[in-house]
A and B are shown apart, each in its own frame.
Chain A
Amino acid sequence: MGTGRNVERRTILKAAGASAAAVGLAATAGCGGSGAGDGTVTIRYSWWGAEERAQKINKTIALFEKKYPKIKVKTDFQTYASFWEKFQTQAAGGNPPDVFQNAVTFLRKYDKRGILLDLKSQVEAGNLSLDHFRAGVTKVGEVDGKQLGVPVGSNTMALVIDKKVFEKAGVEPHAGWTWDDYFKALKTIHDRTKVAGDTGYFSIMYLYDLYLRQNGKAFYTDDGLGFDKADLTEWWTDGYNRVKAGIVTDPKVVAQDFPKSSLSAGHGASEFTWDNFTVRYSAEGDSTYGLAPIPTMDGKHTGQYLASLMLSASARTAHPKEVAQFIDFMVHDPEVGKIMGYDRGILASTEQYSAYRPTDAVNKEIAQYEDDTAKAGVLGTITPHPSGADTIEAAFLRIGGDLGQGKTKVADAVKQFFTESEAAFQA
């Protein structure tokens, strides 16, 4: 090694220098300069969604930065599940995004953990206006006397159907139809087209909530579950029997289609989900998708309510004023409404609602659906979800799937769900 000594020493010095530089870099990156010397402020904005939504949002941000040249917006997006995993870690580390997309399931959870900014103070300071919203929409972001989110769009649960399959089977959904009608329809569809009628209604938390509401209960109370083991046993037993009968899509197929929906993959003729999802399914699938009414117990009450996607702010933000201005712009600016359309639900503020007139069939039908639902007078008020609801929603879906695959008996599945719920509420 005699000759290599000098070279070696030089290499080591270089290596040492490089690692010192790396440490230095890491240190500066950690500070993430949010306030430059010239008064420019940078805020971080995160949301969940797909590429299509990202493109629209980026356009709206360009508009915002033009109007507020002193505020720069740094963005970041993931799919729904990944978004919340990342958000939780960021929030726990004291570094959540300044402003982010939010939904009712997460309000109490993150309020309890002190992450959400009560926007009331910003409303009072005049940086954010809660006027000019469609009736009752802002209520969704109001929990326990605080304004934890401002809605960008409202949506409601619906039955999304594959119109071509329904037509082929000669089945026509109508307002006020009952569950019996619905399940008969599924059977007709399966008999005549060989396609399963539904993609797995019995593991969707939001649908079971509607069913319970029709029966004078609800999925959640303020701090727990609003139903008992006997209720769920009945719901899941029926569900499993319908999978076996072939009128509900085989969960094996659903698992393979995921993350695509089995409806847009052509493996089911209908799916209970949010009404604005027809936008996604129309992009994803080959058929034509439409909206049908939620089946009822009594021919009238659907149990529906308006939910929404919201913008919330971090209680830790160093720039609450700028964040409030950002939210205000995003919910009220008519141009933003024109760009976003019904991607995140029917536009919530009246300025945006009247600025955007849907021209394509899909968006027109969503507007029509919410209009009809509102006129039918079936919309109730939302019950804010207790902390832990997100974990419970995932457990409901997963255990329902296990059950459908025949891997768990109904009694065990119900027991497992109640145990996991208990843990989620306590977490």
Chain B
Amino acid sequence: MGPAVTLVKDSPPAARKPRSAVSATTGRRPGRRRENLAGYLFMSPWIAGFLLLTAGPMAASLYFAFTDYNLFNTPKWVGFDNFTKMFHDPRWQKSVEVTAKYVVIGTPLKLLLALGVAMLLAQSRRGQAFYRAAFYAPSLIGASVSVGFVWRSLFSDGAIVDRTQSVFGWHVGGWVGNADWVLYCLVALTVWQFGAPMVIFLAGLKQVPRELYEAAEMDGAGPLRRFWNITLPMISPVLFFNVLLETIHSFQIFGSAYVVSNGTCGPADATLVYTCYLYEQGFKNAQMGFAAAMAWMLLLAVALVTAVLFWSQKKWVHYEEGAR
């Protein structure tokens, strides 16, 4: 999965570089310990940040998940109460339903569009760089609050989407206020940001050896056949990477739901995605124990989905040994 790996930037370069730089200058043993120390010292801002801002809060949240905690009281141990309450809470169930719907509809649509456009852009033509940039742009700004506001106005009653629809005699009176439609407005927003997976697909497509297509064409394979038997298997590692990333990403939707619904996650809980409900319980109702339990439940669910995806890749992801 060559092209994919280059895009993953998880560890800050500053944390890695000193070690190689220092050990390359002096390789003598006596100074080793001091150099190690220096290395750790240089890493210390990152380590401190990790411990204080990530590991610590995570441990605390795991503890809170088993307590009754309203931010002001001393947390009271309640065992699995928060989890049993969660499973019996109709709004929690609703939030799971809304999120699942969003993930299941939004992710495939986004990836299909990304792959389709990537295939068009993979052919050489004039102004290619411009198109790539243009299609990628929404991914850069799509997560911002202002785009959420723009979206809300686009899909309101009497706004452009509504009026265009009405021309075809299909009047719903705006998606934003309609509990049956508003989720699709969020789906449209995520699909619109297909640029990021598109770029990754594009990189994958560029790696497919031309000879394979030529040979297949010689043998009389049509475009569909070539796509199915050459393109798809050859880019399956990239596809897998995109599916994984976008699925995980979709589960965490918050900003767009919050902004488009104006902070209400409504109407009628139609945009009550998981994190929205978590936020409401934690920061509006101050049920921090419950919110922490919800967060861990989400982690478990995402981990489970990831595990299933990894397990399934044996069946459909094709790693070409000598391709590079």
User: Which residues of B from 131 to 177 have beta carbons under 8 Å from A?
Assistant: 156-157, 173-174, 176-177
Contacts of A12 in B (CB 8 A): 14, 17-18, 21, 42
Q: Which of B193-201, B231-239, B278-286, B299-307 contacts A (4 or more CB under 8 A)?
A: B278-286
Question: Nearest Cβ in chain A — how far from B292, in angstroms?
Answer: 14
Question: Nearest Cβ in chain B — how far from A3, in angstroms?
Answer: 13
Q: List the A residue with the shortest CB-CB distance to B157.
A: A256
User: Which residues of B from 253 to 268 have beta carbons under 8 Å from A?
Assistant: 262-264, 266-268
Residue contact A8 to B267, C-beta cutoff 8 Å: no
Q: Which of A1, A16, A251, A416 contacts B45 (CB 8 A)?
A: A16
Residue contact B285 to A9, C-beta cutoff 8 Å: no
Question: Nearest Cβ in chain B — how far from A88, in angstroms?
Answer: 6
The answer to the question of B72 belonging to the interface, with a C-beta cut-off of 8 Å to chain A, is: yes
Contacts of B174 in A (CB 8 A): 252, 256
The size of the chain B interface, using a CB distance under 8 A, is 34
Contacts of A398 in B (CB 8 A): 264, 266, 269
Cα of A55 to Cα of B146 in the assembled complex, Å: 25
Q: List the A residue with the shortest CB-CB distance to B46.
A: A19
The answer to the question of B252 belonging to the interface, with a C-beta cut-off of 8 Å to chain A, is: no
Residue contact B18 to A405, C-beta cutoff 8 Å: no
The answer to the question of A23 belonging to the interface, with a C-beta cut-off of 8 Å to chain B, is: yes
The answer to the question of B179 belonging to the interface, with a C-beta cut-off of 8 Å to chain A, is: yes
Residue contact A256 to B269, C-beta cutoff 8 Å: no
The answer to the question of A402 belonging to the interface, with a C-beta cut-off of 8 Å to chain B, is: yes
The answer to the question of B74 belonging to the interface, with a C-beta cut-off of 8 Å to chain A, is: no
Contacts of A408 in B (CB 8 A): 268
Question: Nearest Cβ in chain A — how far from B91, in angstroms?
Answer: 8
The answer to the question of B275 belonging to the interface, with a C-beta cut-off of 8 Å to chain A, is: no
Residue contact A19 to B17, C-beta cutoff 8 Å: no
Cα of A81 to Cα of B119 in the assembled complex, Å: 47
Q: Which of B71, B173, B263, B266 contacts A88 (CB 8 A)?
A: B71
The answer to the question of A62 belonging to the interface, with a C-beta cut-off of 8 Å to chain B, is: no
- CB within 8 Å for A252 and B177 given contacts A81-B263, A85-B283, A391-B284: yes
Residue contact A401 to B157, C-beta cutoff 8 Å: no
Contacts of B17 in A (CB 8 A): 8, 12
Residue contact A258 to B262, C-beta cutoff 8 Å: yes
- CB within 8 Å for A423 and B286 given contacts A92-B72, A405-B179: no
Question: Nearest Cβ in chain B — how far from A393, in angstroms?
Answer: 12
Interface size class of A (residues with CB under 8 A): 35 or more
Cα of A219 to Cα of B20 in the assembled complex, Å: 69
The answer to the question of A255 belonging to the interface, with a C-beta cut-off of 8 Å to chain B, is: yes
- CB within 8 Å for A92 and B71 given contacts A12-B42, A16-B42: yes
The answer to the question of B287 belonging to the interface, with a C-beta cut-off of 8 Å to chain A, is: yes
The answer to the question of A15 belonging to the interface, with a C-beta cut-off of 8 Å to chain B, is: yes
Residue contact B176 to A394, C-beta cutoff 8 Å: no
- CB within 8 Å for A401 and B284 given contacts A8-B21, A12-B42: no
Q: List the A residue with the shortest CB-CB distance to B173.
A: A252
Cα of A213 to Cα of B112 in the assembled complex, Å: 59
Question: Nearest Cβ in chain A — how far from B243, in angstroms?
Answer: 32
User: Which residues of A from 409 to 427 have beta carbons under 8 Å from B?
Assistant: 412, 416, 423-424, 427
Contacts of B91 in A (CB 8 A): 416
Cα of A82 to Cα of B262 in the assembled complex, Å: 11
User: Which residues of A from 2 to 40 have beta carbons under 8 Å from B?
Assistant: 5, 8-9, 12, 15-16, 19-20, 23
Contacts of A407 in B (CB 8 A): 179, 268-270
Cα of A89 to Cα of B91 in the assembled complex, Å: 24
Question: Nearest Cβ in chain A — how far from B12, in angstroms?
Answer: 9
The answer to the question of A259 belonging to the interface, with a C-beta cut-off of 8 Å to chain B, is: yes
The answer to the question of B178 belonging to the interface, with a C-beta cut-off of 8 Å to chain A, is: yes
The answer to the question of A67 belonging to the interface, with a C-beta cut-off of 8 Å to chain B, is: no
Residues 103-120 of A, flagged 1 when their CB comes within 8 A of B and 0 if not, give 000000000011000000
Q: Which of B25, B72, B177, B262 contacts A253 (CB 8 A)?
A: B177
Contacts of A8 in B (CB 8 A): 17, 21
The answer to the question of B24 belonging to the interface, with a C-beta cut-off of 8 Å to chain A, is: yes
The answer to the question of B222 belonging to the interface, with a C-beta cut-off of 8 Å to chain A, is: no
User: Which residues of A from 205 to 260 have beta carbons under 8 Å from B?
Assistant: 251-256, 258-259
Residues 20-38 of B, flagged 1 when their CB comes within 8 A of A and 0 if not, give 0100110000000000000
The answer to the question of B70 belonging to the interface, with a C-beta cut-off of 8 Å to chain A, is: yes
Residue contact B285 to A251, C-beta cutoff 8 Å: no
Contacts of B72 in A (CB 8 A): 91-92, 113-114
Q: List the B residue with the shortest CB-CB distance to A404.
A: B268
Contacts of A251 in B (CB 8 A): 177, 267-268
Cα of A181 to Cα of B269 in the assembled complex, Å: 34
Contacts of B71 in A (CB 8 A): 88-89, 92
Question: Nearest Cβ in chain A — how far from B302, in angstroms?
Answer: 26
Residue contact B177 to A256, C-beta cutoff 8 Å: yes
Residue contact A259 to B21, C-beta cutoff 8 Å: no
Cα of A45 to Cα of B244 in the assembled complex, Å: 47
Contacts of B178 in A (CB 8 A): 252
Cα of A170 to Cα of B26 in the assembled complex, Å: 94
Q: Which of B18, B70, B263, B267 contacts A255 (CB 8 A)?
A: B267
Contacts of B270 in A (CB 8 A): 407
Question: Nearest Cβ in chain A — how far from B159, in angstroms?
Answer: 10
Cα of A30 to Cα of B192 in the assembled complex, Å: 40
Cα of A25 to Cα of B179 in the assembled complex, Å: 47
**Residue from B70, B268, B269 having most chain A Cβ neighbours under 10 A:** B268
Contacts of A405 in B (CB 8 A): 179, 267-268
Q: List the A residue with the shortest CB-CB distance to B174.
A: A256
User: Which residues of A from 71 to 112 have beta carbons under 8 Å from B?
Assistant: 81-82, 85, 88-89, 91-92
Cα of A282 to Cα of B3 in the assembled complex, Å: 59
Q: Which of A82, A416, A427 contacts B70 (CB 8 A)?
A: A427
Cα of A349 to Cα of B286 in the assembled complex, Å: 35
* Cβ contacts A to B, 15 pairs, < 8 Å: A5-B21, A15-B14, A81-B284, A82-B263, A91-B72, A252-B173, A255-B266, A255-B267, A256-B156, A402-B266, A405-B267, A407-B270, A412-B90, A416-B91, A423-B287
Please list the residues of chain B having a beta carbon within 8 angstroms of any beta carbon in chain A: 14, 17-18, 21, 24-25, 42, 45, 70-72, 90-91, 156-157, 173-174, 176-179, 262-264, 266-270, 283-287
- Apart from A5-B24, A258-B262, A412-B90, what are 17 other A-B pairs with CB-CB below 8 Å? A8-B21, A12-B17, A16-B42, A81-B263, A88-B71, A88-B286, A251-B267, A251-B268, A255-B266, A256-B157, A256-B174, A394-B284, A398-B264, A401-B267, A402-B267, A405-B267, A408-B268
What are the 7 closest A-B residue pairs judged by CB atoms, nearest first?
A256-B177, A92-B71, A255-B267, A407-B268, A255-B177, A252-B177, A19-B45
